[in-house]
Amino acid sequence: MREAELGYAAAQFRAIEINGTFYGMQRPETFESWTRQVPTEFVFAAKGPRYITHILRLRDARVALANFMASGLLGLGIHLGPILWQFPSNFRFDTGRIEPFLRMLPHDTDAAAALGREHDNKLRAPARLRVDSRRVLRHAFEIRHHSFQCQEFIDLLRAYDVALVCADSVKWPRLMDVTSDFVYCRLHGAPDAYASGYDNAALDQWARRIKAWARGGEPPDADRVGGMARPKRRDVFVFFDNDKKVRAPANAMELIRRLRS
């Protein structure tokens, strides 16, 4: 994203997903450049590397995770929001892979820096592990296989304080179990993933759901595997991924208007 584009987007929205971290390792100066272009209250949600989720498929992932933490991610400072872990559609639920990875995830910036010191020589630049202050680090899992629709998975996420992404797509399960102190939604578009826009009725529905989560409750139409979470006011992150036909910006602006009314 060009500097002028990021500056403009950050003036319109309060968060953006970083997709580049999914496809390849970044440099510390890239992260630090992004922080200079956004206002104080703006946050970036960073996608975890597909090398971990799609290539290693969570096997022996500790060094790769350390590389990600050491690559400059912590340079986002106050602008670092949730880390999104997106799994491939053919990745099935397997406690033997999921729980060790959950146990490995750092939940604050000090722990992330400590893990980052285990990096190898595959970084694109010298490690950036400086932490100006200790902050909470959040994680969210986006699953795309129906085998994850089980109580055991929900219990694991709650035990390790990781959010389950509510992914709106006809291709994958759309679950709304609340498993952490925040909610993370990705609206991919339906019926055509990445292309379909959301009409007024759909945006009204999503606005009602978001307000329910933010106020500490849950929407009455929530699709859940397990029971309701403990009532608690929550941050809600919502990203439109229906960008193939440039639907996402307009849909996001319309949803913000509804949430402010």
Quote the pTM value.
0.95
Say yes or no: domain 166-261 is CATH 3.30.450.20: no
Q: CB 226: neighbour CB atoms within 10 A?
A: 17
Q: Judge whether 65 and 103 are in contact, CB under 8 Å.
A: no
The answer to whether the 1-137 and 166-261 domains have the same CATH topology is yes
Q: CB 66: neighbour CB atoms within 10 A?
A: 23
For residue range 152-162, what is the model confidence (pLDDT) as tens digits? 999 999 999 99
CA gap 240, 252 in Å, rounded: 7
CA gap 166, 227 in Å, rounded: 16
CATH code reported for the domain at 1-137: 3.20.20.410
For residue range 77-136, what is the model confidence (pLDDT) as tens digits? 999 999 999 999 999 999 999 999 999 999 999 999 999 999 999 999 999 999 999 999
Q: What residues does each domain of the chain span?
A: 1-137, 166-261
